Amino acid sequence: MASGIFAVLDDIAAIMDDVAMMSKVAARKTAGILGDDLAVNAEKASGFASSRELPVLWAISKGSLLNKVVILPIAFLLTAFLPVAITVILILGGIYLAYEGAEKIFHFFFPDKLDVPSKFKEGITETEILEIEKGRVKAAIVTDFILSIEIVIIALGSVVGKPLLSQIIVVSFIALLATVGVYGIVALIVRMDEAGYKLIESSKKKKGFIVWFGNLLVNALPYVIRALSVIGTIALIFVSGGIFVHNLDFFHNLFPSWPSLLLEFTVGLIIGFIALFIVLGAKWVWKKFRS
């Protein structure tokens, strides 16, 4: 009886060793997309009133966890019974990410051409603010859903051929890391200024290293947010382009002599603007039809 228990424990230990090793491999393979996820979501979670930053971030985090709960079982089932559906889903998600990145670029050069509220205007009511927040949270959760699919698929690809239990544990761990780790860092970024104010207030002499560091955090936040906005937009283009290049032979073999990063960015940018102009054209036609 005792020997049987020890044998089971030995098997569990062996499984956990395999899981730890596979988790390291999966984490390395998803590190790039996790970095892009961080940049995109930090940009999505910024721009709110200080008192609303954490509630908004918590709402996005809950949506992200729900995304993983939905994606994981579907991904395991599709991988087992209909693997081609994974590619189709990735391509559709890539088109949306490319569109979102192109929309941000277009909005930067033509701010009056889109109906996307990038900033809160002065004089709007609290109800209008909450409506804008609700829309931005929804958009952030949709973007997270697509990035989560990419993360789960890459993690699954690193454990192909392994026992089902090991696959479930490893991919679930990476998915959880993608939410807890990414949004934990995002929370630290968006609360930089509050941490800086606390440090300044805690100093009795109102000078010295603590005050200097507090001022640094406060003054650096706007630049960090602007940088993350740019990085997040570039990340959307790169991620979408990577989806097309890695899953469609036409794009993969389009310019074989090009560096992969240049090819992915170019493909993502072109497809993004094609999708954007189709959407803008459809809106224009619909507006003309209604009038």
Number of other CB atoms surrounding residue 154 within 10 Å: 20
Distance CA 145, CA 259 (A): 28
- Tokens standing for 291? 């009038």
Q: Give residue for tokens 């590190």.
A: 31
pLDDT at 248: 84
Number of residues that make up the chain = 291
pLDDT, tens only, 70-115? 888 888 888 778 878 877 887 888 898 889 889 888 988 887 644 4
pLDDT, tens only, 133-160? 788 888 888 888 877 887 887 777 667 6
Q: Kindly state the average pLDDT of the residues 127-134.
A: 74
Among 217, 214, 209, 160, smallest CA distance to 188 is for 217
pLDDT, tens only, 203-258? 776 677 788 888 888 888 778 877 877 877 888 888 888 888 888 888 878 888 88
pLDDT, tens only, 12-66? 444 455 556 655 555 555 555 666 666 666 666 666 666 677 788 888 888 888 9
